[in-house]
Structure 1
Amino acid sequence: MTVHDIARQLPEIAALRDHCRSMAMLEAVLSPEWSDRYYSFDAQWSETEAMASMRNGSGDEYSIVFSAAGAYVRGFAHESPMSPYAEDGPWPGVLDDVPDVFQSCVEEPAFSDEGGMPVVTACMWREAGDDHWKAGTIDFPEATTGDPDGAAYLFSLLTDRSAEAFQRWAEDYYEVPVDLEAVRHVLSSHPLTEGVVHALNPEITLADLAGDITGIGYPLG
């Protein structure tokens, strides 16, 4: 599976934004410490953009920039044979076809290393008027894992957006039971309640989450 397969499985932009925002809200409830979280969402990343992100603490990450122009997705799997550090630059085709409207994302310092090289193994985009996601024309290397650019691993919870998938992931990562109905409530973008928060994490309250709710832009009802 490659970024091309992932692009065919992603929902339209608004649905993806809502899903990313909900995952970030779930993690804010499960993990009061921001540094321990995988999934984040910054509703005011810039004056005109929001950004969803994932980082696993081991060097793998993704960023999704949402703007009036559409959405730009950058993923980096540090052990991928398509790592820019293996080729002294992004793998041919990964960024070559990105349209001009997203070039600021390609050149974004936050998505590059100290030398200005884009840190990317997988890239997708969808302009506001498009009816599907796109990725570059890429000659993928042969890989025994079947995931040469890391896309299947990086974006697994964006292609399987079920409450069950998030529950399995969260229970494995946090090593605690995670209430499925509460997960389903938040993934549906329903407003948080004390009951939902308590079901996910009895050690915090809705009031404790005020800053996260504002930063994530999660609906208050």
Structure 2
Amino acid sequence: MIEEFKNKLKNLALLDAILEQDWELRYYSYNSGWSPTEEMASLRDSCGGEWFFLISDDGIAFKCTSPEDGLAEDFESIKNKVPDRFKVFLEEPAFSMNEGSCIWYLENNNWVALGVDINDLPNPTKIQQMSASNYCVYASNILEQDIDSNLVQSILDGRFSFDLATKLNPDVDIDELKKDIQEIGISS
């Protein structure tokens, strides 16, 4: 399940890299070399919402701040309920761990959710279930681009090619995309 989930996160970041050249304007990002033993996925909307996944040998943990859904009243008590094996995740300064809406972690292939229910941003369950048509709705609403769901499905299925990238976005800068692909950790 972890590999499948990582691939979904990577492919969402790849789709955003193809459609939006400016990293600052992307929702989905992925860094396969966050550290020698960790990978990181992130989402940032332009309204203060963000989430982070840390993927390591210890498992997967997720932290979300969703102003639309509200912040957890006692975020420190939520952090105290997370297993010790996620200590590195809880202490990561880049994840803004002073406050948040929720923390989820994967336990025996099931998500344990602590904190506020997230509906405004895609939570881990919604990411797992995200289809090509869901991504196309997001691309239309957020990126203001209408794209072919069959091309999106090919990327979600792991069938990336530069030809496919140029079909999705004829203006994509292939040299920049190659750099993004390396960071995301996708074979080209």
| Fold match (TM-score > 0.5) | yes
Indicate the residue corresponding to 2:150 in structure 1.
181
Indicate the residue corresponding to 2:99 in structure 1.
119
Which letter maps to 2:118? A
Structure having the larger proportion of residues in strand: 2
CA-CA distance at 1:78 after TM superposition: 2.0
Matched, 1:110 2:68: no
CA-CA distance at 1:56 after TM superposition: 0.2
Which letter maps to 2:129? D
Tell me: higher relative CO, structure 1 or 2? Use CA pairs within 8 A at least 6 residues apart.
1
Which letter maps to 2:119? A
Matched, 1:90 2:84: no
Task: Assess if the C-alpha contact under 8 Å between 1:106 and 1:118 holds in 2.
Answer: no
2:4 and 2:168 map into 1 onto residues whose CA distance is 23
2:76 and 2:120 map into 1 onto residues whose CA distance is 18
Indicate the residue corresponding to 1:39 in structure 2.
28
Task: Assess if the C-alpha contact under 8 Å between 1:97 and 1:135 holds in 2.
Answer: no
CA 78–199 in structure 1, closer or farther in 2 if over 3 Å, else same: same
CA 47–13 in structure 1, closer or farther in 2 if over 3 Å, else same: same
Indicate the residue corresponding to 2:137 in structure 1.
168
Aligned-residue CA RMSD in angstroms? 1.9
TM-score (norm 2): 0.90
2:159 and 2:148 map into 1 onto residues whose CA distance is 15
Deviations 1:148-207 (A, max 9, x none): x2512222551431100001111111212112111011111113231x112210012544
5+ unaligned residues in a row in structure 2: which ranges?
Answer: none
SS in structure 2 at match of 1:174:
coil
Q: How many residues align?
A: 186
SS in structure 1 at match of 2:33:
coil
1:80 and 1:203 map into 2 onto residues whose CA distance is 36
Task: Assess if the C-alpha contact under 8 Å between 2:11 and 2:156 holds in 1.
Answer: yes
SS in structure 2 at match of 1:153:
coil
5+ unaligned residues in a row in structure 1: which ranges?
Answer: 1-11, 139-148
Indicate the residue corresponding to 2:181 in structure 1.
213
Task: Assess if the C-alpha contact under 8 Å between 2:40 and 2:54 holds in 1.
Answer: yes
2:153 and 2:45 map into 1 onto residues whose CA distance is 23
1:122-137 alignment runs, 5 A limit? 122-127=102-107, 130-136=108-114
Which letter maps to 2:44? R
Computing the radius of gyration from Cα coordinates, the structure with the larger value is 1
Indicate the residue corresponding to 1:199 in structure 2.
167
CA-CA distance at 1:135 after TM superposition: 2.7
CA 35–131 in structure 1, closer or farther in 2 if over 3 Å, else same: closer
Indicate the residue corresponding to 1:17 in structure 2.
6
CA 150–134 in structure 1, closer or farther in 2 if over 3 Å, else same: closer
SS in structure 1 at match of 2:146:
coil
TM-score (norm 1): 0.77
Moved over 6 A (4+): none
Q: 1:153 aligns with which of 114, 120, 133?
A: 120
Task: Assess if the C-alpha contact under 8 Å between 1:76 and 1:150 holds in 2.
Answer: no
